[in-house]
């Protein structure tokens, strides 16, 4: 099977490329490298350096492809609050272009990187896929619009699709070329920031007055390798005319302080922290109900928070 992986030079996309290449899938990558890294592309993988905003480049990348795994996009909650138009253009307009080009060349299968940010702060925790979408930031809004767009495309054109709603992806993967890990600049994600914290530049804790037991936000962390294993299961179970939505998380929640404590245990010293103001756009608690992915995809995450932290630690040492 020939898979087009958009965003295949980024943190999650490059892990998908590595795992799927090892499993014998033929792969083409489409990435503009605006946040990814061309040096992550393995030998023997076709790489089109191009943009979702350029239909000619998309069409080139789609040559002989059977299915698209669509990871490319802007993905930072904080940045999206500052630059909502950029998020709409790249995420929504870019995906529209991709779906249009897929239609022209007859590619009818897609697995999409959606997000828990589509839910906002639902009344019920853990969050089921049936929860009403009410994003608290522009990033989540773009992902919700795209999920709806793919659903419409499935009804209209019969495409087989899955939207995978990621909770907080963490951890890293070691391969022959070294570690595939988070290399964002600037880094905004909690676990890498905690592990890079120093007395001079301590990690900021965004809010200590949230309605949670210790006052810090609670998130559901899932290891990037477990996440990609779910993608492959979703890919292999795509059904014509069907668009399925699956939550991908662990089903467990950890507060920011619990992450700092677990990281202090892993490093062997107390991680310095600085209590700071809340970050715009953050919901208080996000925990996934992963029953649907367990049942329909026969998927379960096997790597816990300690593995996510130790892999990230190894990757930055």
Residue nearer to ligand UFG on the CB measure, 50 or 253? 253
Give the x/- contact pattern for ligand UFG in 176-195, rule: CB under 6 A: ------------xxx--x--
Give the x/- contact pattern for ligand UFG in 282-311, rule: CB under 6 A: x---x-------------------------
CA-only gyration radius of the chain, Å: 19
Among 47, 71, 112, 206, binds ligand UFG (CB under 6 A): 206
Among 15, 40, 91, 115, binds ligand UFG (CB under 6 A): 115
Residues that bind ligand UFG (rule: CB under 6 A) add up to a total of 21
| Structure token pair of residue 90 | 């790249």
The label of the residue with tokens 């936000």 reads 217
Under the binding rule (CB under 6 A), the answer on residue 260 touching ligand UFG is no
Query: Residue 156 burial by CB count (10 A; 0-12/13-18/19+): exposed, middle or buried?
Result: exposed
Instruction: Identify the active-site residue in 87, 119, 139, 166.
Output: 139
Positive or negative: CA dihedral 85, 76, 15, 179:
positive
Residue nearer to ligand UFG on the CB measure, 32 or 182? 182
In the complex, what is the shortest distance from the CB of residue 175 to ligand UFG, in angstroms, rounded to a whole number? 23
Under the binding rule (CB under 6 A), the answer on residue 129 touching ligand UFG is no
* Helices marked H in the chain: 11-22, 55-61, 77-82, 84-87, 94-105, 138-157, 190-195, 224-236, 256-267, 291-297, 305-316
By C-alpha distance, which of 128, 118, 126 is closest to 149?
118
- Kindly report the backbone phi and psi dihedral angles of residue 23, in degrees, each rounded to the nearest multiple of 5, phi listed first: -90, 5
Q: Which residues bind ligand UFG (CB under 6 A)?
A: 75, 77, 115-117, 167-168, 188-190, 193, 203-206, 217, 219, 256, 279, 282, 286
Q: Catalytic positions, please?
A: 139
């Amino acid at each position: 099977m020939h898979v087009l992986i958009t965003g295949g030079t980024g943190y999650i996309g490059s892990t998908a490329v590595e795992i799927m290449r090892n499993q014998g899938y033929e792969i083409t990558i489409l990435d503009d490298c605006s946040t990814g890294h061309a040096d992550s592309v393995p030998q023997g993988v076709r790489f089109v350096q191009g943009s979702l905003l350029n239909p000619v480049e998309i069409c080139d990348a789609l040559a002989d492809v059977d299915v698209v795994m669509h990871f490319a996009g802007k993905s930072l909650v904080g940045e999206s609050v500052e630059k909502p138009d950029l998020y709409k253009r790249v995420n929504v307009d870019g995906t529209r272009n991709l779906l249009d080009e897929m239609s022209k060349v007859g590619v009818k299968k897609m697995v999409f990187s959606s997000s828990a940010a589509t839910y906002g702060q639902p009344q019920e925790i853990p969050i089921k896929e049936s929860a009403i979408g009410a994003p608290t930031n522009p990033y989540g809004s773009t992902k919700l619009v795209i999920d709806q767009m793919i659903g419409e495309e499935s009804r209209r054109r019969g495409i087989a699709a899955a939207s995978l709603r990621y909770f907080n992806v963490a951890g890293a993967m070691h391969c022959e070329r070294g570690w595939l890990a988070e290399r964002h600049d600037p880094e905004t994600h909690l676990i890498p920031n905690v592990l890079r914290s120093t007395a001079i530049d301590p990690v900021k804790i965004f809010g200590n007055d949230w309605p949670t037991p210790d006052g810090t936000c609670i998130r559901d962390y899932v290891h990037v390798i477990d996440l990609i294993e779910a993608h492959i299961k979703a890919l292999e179970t795509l059904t014509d005319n069907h668009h399925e939505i699956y939550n991908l998380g662990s089903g467990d929640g950890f507060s920011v302080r619990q992450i700092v404590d677990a990281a202090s245990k892993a490093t062997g010293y107390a991680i310095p922290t600085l209590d700071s103001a809340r970050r715009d756009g953050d919901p208080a608690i996000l925990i996934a109900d992963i029953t649907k992915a367990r049942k329909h995809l026969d998927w379960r995450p096997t790597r816990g928070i300690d593995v996510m932290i130790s892999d990230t630690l190894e990757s930055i040492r």
